[in-house]
Structure 1
Amino acid sequence: MNDPTHAPSAVPEPAPAEDRATDPLAVALGNASLLGVGYLMVRRRRWFAVAALAVTLVLVVRLGAGASPSDEVAMLLWWVTVTAHGWFLARRRAPRGTRPGQRLVALGVTLSVLLAAAYLRVEAAGIERSVSEARERGDCAEVARAQARVSFGDRVADARSTADGDEAVRTCERLRVAEGELDVALVGDLAALKRGFRTLDSVLESPGNDRTVEATLNEFLGDLPTADSCATVSVIDWLRDRKLGDDLLERSAATAQRAAPASLVGCGDDLMGKQRWKDARAHYERVLDQYPGDDTAGKARKGFEKATRSIERDNVLDLLAPRTDAPPKYCSDPVEYSGAERTGKGDNPALFLPSHKDGEDYSGQLPRSWRADDVDDAALVVCMGETRQGDAVRTCPYETHSGAIRNVTYHKIAMPVRVYELRTGKLVSDRKIQISGSSCPPTISYYTYGDDDSGGPDPDDYVAESKSDVRDAFRPLVVR
């Protein structure tokens, strides 16, 4: 009699979990998601899934943080590796079989990842296009705004384009620094100008930056000329002296030369205000030499003449300065002063220079119309020498205190004079004048020493000149 508890079962028992069939295609598709899903389908290999996910996370973080194209290549190689490894790992396991459910799950996960990656790549490509268009317009501000839209996922999905965008932003930042240097250069800081152009040169070495560099340069050139004409001249001179070439900077910098004539004249005017006559004249002269046909040439010519007169005036004033024991230097080394009055018929105002600081000066007795107040009013310079006894006029006897008779001869006041035309510095007269006057007064004074009166008065003396006598002597010098 059979025991019913040991009767054979009509339904076979399921195979152990480790002996279930593995679908290689499902495993490969699952691993293609880079999430290790395929490894989860392979029994006793779940730790592979953890390792694969860890590597994927490392690569994702690297891509998101640095957007390096080399990391993108590493991610592609990793995708190929884990996909192929899942396929071969499943094929080596027995039994193998088709698992539609596994395939659908793997396909769903992988398609989700691929669709997300595709969306992010399209988004990254759009941002790259915006960045490129902004660069073409030379709009660095828009480059920064467009690149700011890049997300972590965009960097993971398209490392190359996002890396290019980052480089464009860095380039624009360098141009911003160069722009600051060029702004400082506008006040005449040539060191800052040199640094700014060095940056522009280095940015131009990389392709695709012509427009952004041109925009930066045009903004700089648009600020020329500045309110400080002399600073503008310094900038223009530096640009002119740069090593010539055929690049964008040389072609654009040439536009600064258009501001040169007006800036040179403006700087000359500023220097005139500071009484730097020689420097001012040099600036006016440059306009006349380099830009003779410019509208500013007439103003430069007037400035040149004014500066020249100022230089001559300072020189004349230095030569006219009185000296303690000698005539002013002008009397031995006359120079022209083109700002002086012209000589002509009638009264010619003159500057009267005595023989030395304390020498005889009769100019105070001359008419006001004959005397000039300064070099700008004068037509002549009269250098007066030491007075001497001139022609004898009369001899008169005088009784001394002791009763002796002594004769005194009176002489005209003789004076050598040299007359120069101030405008040209030419000698127009070299002669001796004699001033007449009254003689033989009833009494005269003389010095005695103690009780000795034997000497008596000096036997020769000068006449006593009057204002009219002085004028008569000097009239031929200044009146024509």
Structure 2
Amino acid sequence: MTHPPYGEPEYPESGYPGSGYPESESPGPDRPPAPAREPREPDPLAVAVGNASLLGAGYLIMGRRGLFWAAAVVTVPLVWLVAAKAETWCELVLLLWWAVVVAHGWRLARRHPAAGPRRGQRVLALALALPVLVTAGGLRFDAHGIADAVEEAREDGDCVAVVTAQERVGPGHRLAAAPVAARGDTVVEACERLDTAAGYLSGGLGGDLGMLKTGFGRLGTVLGEPGNERTVEATLKHFLGRLPTADGCRTVRIADWLRDRENGPEDLSGPSSATAARIAPEALMECGDTLMTDKEWANARDRYRRLLDEHPGDERAEEAREGIRKAGLAIELDNVRDLVAAADGMNTGYCRKPAKYSQAPAHREGANRALFVGDSEYTDKLPDGWHATDAAKAALVVCVDSAGMGKTVETCQYRDDDERVRSVTFREVEVRVKAYALRTGKLVTDRKLRISGSSCPYFISYYGSPPSQRSVTPSDSDVRDAFEPVVER
């Protein structure tokens, strides 16, 4: 007994199990016979090509639905793993699985007794596999092109171009070329961190050195990752290009920080130090001028001195020297004013600690304007032309002690309320004065002035017991005559 040819019914037309007709009966003329289910005759090449699509099409061509679903159970998680992990080893595992499925389909189809070329199956397999393979290949090719554009932009230090190029990556690229797409994501992420660092650096331009430190720290972190040298350099260059700021004193603080900051990568510290050296001279000069306007003389002088000490050959050196001179004079004048204001006697303020004001008028021949401090009982009677209104216009500072009594002028008799005769001695007014030349702060006069005046008036007033001695009553001219040797040279 021979086996019937493959594809022909194994059972007689009169009936076969499961045919739906009785074995002893044949279908009548009114009912057509049911078509017989023919077993699949696989084409090994078609099966292999169908499985190459990773859709399990080869197994469906063979009619092996169980294998189709079994392959799908493995294929779907592997594709998800490739997309999620985006690592090369995941792609290698998927590629290995692809080779296994293709080889298994080929071998399984070859073992079929009726295996052979089938044009229809090949056309179907190509129709299923070719779009998948072409699409995957095209996506991988495009992904590599995007990656090249991203890398080129990074080499140019252009993070905007990096992001623009990477935005072309779609879901298909992340399936067909996940590791390549992920590398672009890493570059974009580095650019985002650089953008954050740039934000901190911008805050540092406002004078917040803490933000400046944070910004440089983040730059250093990104620089420590290979391939980011140019983008870090571009970010740093953009920041340094915004210096100096509009505020000279703020720029000085930033320049000092850039120069003195803790050691870091040479790619950061080198350009920073060079920028600090570039902006410091002008910033020191501007800061000194600003502080002079704000009457912070000592701080202004410090900035001018730093300019001369740190940048002796700078073109602003002469201006800095003039600034130091003006600041020094302002400091002297402020000091003199404070001392004069504090002097209310011979042992206080300027009288205790005389100081100079180098730009004061010289103590010259003739009348000299003076600041009179201390007891003002008699100095208020001096001519207005002798009084200086401010230390900046005075040639002398005259310290005046409390008035005492000098030599006897005359003794007169007075009758008190009890009708008793009393003798009252009138004496000259005696005042000790010290005069200092304000330009040098040196003592030029130390004497006791004797002021004459009228004595023995017809009436005298007193409280309590009658006085035994009294001072004469000077006139304005008497006071002037006494003080004239002090203010005139």
Using the size of structure 1 for normalisation, the TM-score is 0.86
Segments of structure 1 that go 5 or more residues without pairing to the other structure are: 1-9, 450-454
**What is the aligned counterpart of 2:8 among 8, 11, 14?**
14
State the secondary structure of the residue aligned to 2:391: coil
Q: Percent identity?
A: 48
Offset of 1:187 from its aligned partner? 0.8
Aligned to 1:315: 335
The reply to whether residue 282 of structure 1 matches residue 302 of structure 2 is yes
* DSSP-derived class of the 1:438 partner: coil
Where does residue 102 of structure 2 map in the other structure? 83
How far did residue 12 of structure 1 move?
9.1
Q: Aligned with 1:321: secondary structure?
A: helix
Contact 1:221 1:256 in 2 (8 A): no
Letter in 2 for 1:308: G
> Structure 2 vs 1, CA of residues 20 and 219 (structure 1 numbering), >3 Å: closer, same or farther?
closer
Instruction: Please list, as runs of the form range in 1=range in 2, the aligned pairs for 1:128-277 lying within 5 A after superposition.
Output: 128-244=147-263, 247-254=266-273, 255-277=275-297
Q: 1:437 aligns with which of 410, 431, 453?
A: 453
Aligned to 1:5: none
- Residues 1:70 and 1:363: Cα distance change in structure 2 (over 3 Å): farther
Supply the distance in 1 between the matched residues of 2:423 and 2:129 (Cα, whole angstroms).
145
Secondary structure (helix, strand or coil) at the match of 1:71 reads: helix
After superposing the two structures, state which structure 1 stretch, 307-316 or 130-139, moved more. 307-316
Q: 478, 481, 487: which is aligned to 1:469?
A: 478
Aligned-pair distance for 1:116?
1.9
* Structure 1 residues 15 and 77: CA distance shift in structure 2, 3 A: farther
Q: Which residue of 2 aligns with 1:425?
A: 441
2:428 & 2:198 partners in 1: Cα distance? Answer: 82
> How many positions carry a matched residue from both structures?
458
Q: What is the deviation of 1:399?
A: 4.8
Deviation at 1:15, TM superposition (A): 6.1
Is 1:113–2:107 an aligned residue pair?
Answer: no
Distance 2:112 2:6 in 1: 23
Shift of 1:331: 0.8
In the superposition, the TM-score normalised over structure 2's length comes to 0.84
The 1:370–1:447 alpha-carbon spacing in structure 2 relative to 1, beyond 3 Å, is closer
Q: Give, as a single letter, the amino acid of the residue that structure 1 aligns with 2:285.
A: V
Cα displacement (A) at 1:371: 0.8
Q: Deviations over 1:245-280 (max 9, x none)?
A: 562211221213311122223233333444433333
Q: Any stretches of 5+ residues in structure 2 without a counterpart? A: 11-36
Q: Give, in whole Å, the separation in 1 of the partners of 2:371 and 2:65.
A: 116
Does the CA-based 8 Å contact 1:350-1:381 persist in structure 2? yes
Partner amino acid for 2:460?
S
Whether the 8 Å CA contact 1:413–1:462 is kept in 2: the answer is yes
1:400 aligns with 2:415: yes
> Which region of structure 1 is more displaced relative to structure 2, 120-129 or 86-95?
86-95
Match 1:380 to one of 384, 392, 396: 396
Asked whether the equivalents of residues 90 and 96 of structure 1 are also in contact (C-alpha less than 8 Å), the reply is: yes
Pair 406,14 (structure 1): closer, same or farther in 2 beyond 3 Å: same
Aligned partners of 1:340 and 1:379 also within 8 Å? yes
CA distance in 2, matches of 1:290, 1:71: 60
Conserved in 1, the CA contact under 8 Å of 2:346 and 2:401? no
CA distance in 1, matches of 2:103, 2:142: 29
Q: Are 2:47 and 1:31 equivalent residues in the alignment?
A: no
Q: Secondary structure at the match of 2:62?
A: coil
Amino acid at match of 2:191: C
109-118 vs 231-240, which deviates more? 109-118
**SS, match of residue 340 in structure 1:** coil
Given that residues 334 and 425 in structure 1 are in contact (C-alpha distance below 8 angstroms), is that contact kept between their aligned partners in structure 2?
A: yes
